Amino acid sequence: MDTLNPPLSILQAVRRRDHIAHNAWQVFAFLFIGLALAFTLVAAPSGDTFYFRLATEALIYSGLAMSVDLLLGFTGLLSLGQALFFGLGAYTSALVLKHVGPSFWTAMAVTLLVSTAVGIVGGFIAIRARGVYFALITFGMAQVVSKIVYNTRELGASDGIMGIPVIQANFLLFKVDTAQAPAFFLTVLAMTMGLYFCIAYLLRTPFGRTLGAVRNNECRVPFLGYNPQLYKMLAYVLAADMAAFSGALYPMLRGFVSPELMYFAVSGDAVITVVIGGLGTLIGAIYGSVILTGLKSAIGTYTGHYQIVIGVLFMLSVIAFPKGLMGYLSPLVEKWLAGRRENP
């Protein structure tokens, strides 16, 4: 260390550490993309659709889980009703595809408009509450809405909406047919990772850092010159949009939507996903979603009672591994990156 000019070297060290931590996440993100592409290469020639659809579903749910992580891991708000927005996105997209026209971009745009509007209303109700009260209010809102949907004949009541047409998503240079499992998988992969990189970027801006301040000590934030209510509102609406964005992909995959998509089980699974994957890591939501979906499917081939296994795993994670998978793996990668930098 240069003792003559300590501040400079210290700041370099701060920036380097920050950089390494960021790079560790990037490593996991690109590793995930690599694994997903490898999976595509291996599985596509076999003509399989089951595993592609399952993997696509895992990716779709990972968007929901990321929205839970944005709220809980980065802003300190435990949402027990995030499925409300996931379901909202799924229903909006389903209605647009069925009644307006089979256009991918129209469905996504309308979904985001609707989820932003509903997110603002929901945020207005929810963000005044703190801690467990926020958890219970989001839980209550999702329950009310899901019961209303369940009882609304125009939305197909308990059956949901079926017969959503297969669409061709137009990406200018090429078109993707949602019925082609590998192609749609790659599309959802691109969208999910795109979402991940956008949010990961946002969390590195002053906006994202201020969310961290709200999570850490909300009472102090006003005395730094920020309105915490505004930041909580922005996080809430952003999370609503993320969940709805993922939800909008669901009917394109499965061809139907049902009120179950809004149920507590879906919200709860998203929380489990984030805790197992690593709270406050963002990438953990994606890995967690793959793990959870994979586990459910694997155990499901032997017994219908996979919830026992998942519940035990979840509780173990809360008690013994509170940092989650990514929380324990990332320091290892950071160490490796730091070592590589020192001995090139």
Which positions lie near another protein, rule CB under 8 A?
6-7, 10-11, 13-15, 17, 72, 78, 125, 128-129, 131-133, 135-137, 139-141, 143-144, 147-148, 151, 201-202, 204-207, 209-210, 212-213, 216-217, 219-227, 264, 268, 271-272, 275, 304-308, 310-312, 314-315, 318-319, 322
Rounded to the nearest whole angstrom, what is the least distance from the CB of residue 153 to another protein in the complex? 11
Q: Which is nearer to another protein, 39 or 207 (CB)?
A: 207
Q: Are β-strands 168-170 and 175-177 bridged in parallel, bridged antiparallel, or unpaired?
A: antiparallel
Which is closer to another protein, CB of 126 or CB of 189?
Answer: 126
In 3D space, the residue among 95, 82, 1 whose CA is nearest the CA of residue 246 turns out to be 82
In the complex, minimum distance from the CB of residue 243 to another protein, in angstroms, rounded to a whole number: 19
Of 60 and 135, nearer to another protein (C-beta) is 135
Give the C-alpha distances (Å, rounded to integers) separating 123 from 154, 231, 237, 254, 274. 26, 11, 7, 30, 21
Q: Which is nearer to another protein, 304 or 344 (CB)?
A: 304
User: Which C-beta is closer to another protein: that of 114 or that of 310?
Assistant: 310
In the complex with another protein, the residue whose CB is nearer, 11 or 332, is: 11
CB 264 within 8 A of CB 143: yes
**Residue-wise over 102-137: b if at least 16 C-beta within 10 A, else e?**
bbbeebbebbbebbeebbeebbeebbeeeeeebbeb
State the Cα–Cα distance between residues 329 and 333, nearest whole angstrom.
7
Q: Which is nearer to another protein, 175 or 341 (CB)?
A: 341
Q: Least distance in Å: CB of 20 to another protein? A: 12
Least Å from the CB of residue 127 to another protein: 10
Q: How far is the CB of 219 from another protein (least distance, A)?
A: 7
Provide, rounded to whole angstroms, the least separation between the CB of residue 267 and another protein. Answer: 10
DSSP string, 113-153: HHHHHHHHHHHHHHTTS-HHHHHHHHHHHHHHHHHHHHT-G
Residue 49 corresponds to which tokens in the numbers above? 């659709």
- Give CA torsion, residues 216, 218, 223, 229, to 10 deg: 130
Which position has the token pair 């694997």?
Answer: 298
Tokens of 271: 């929380």
- Residue 183 CB, shortest distance to another protein, in Å, is 33
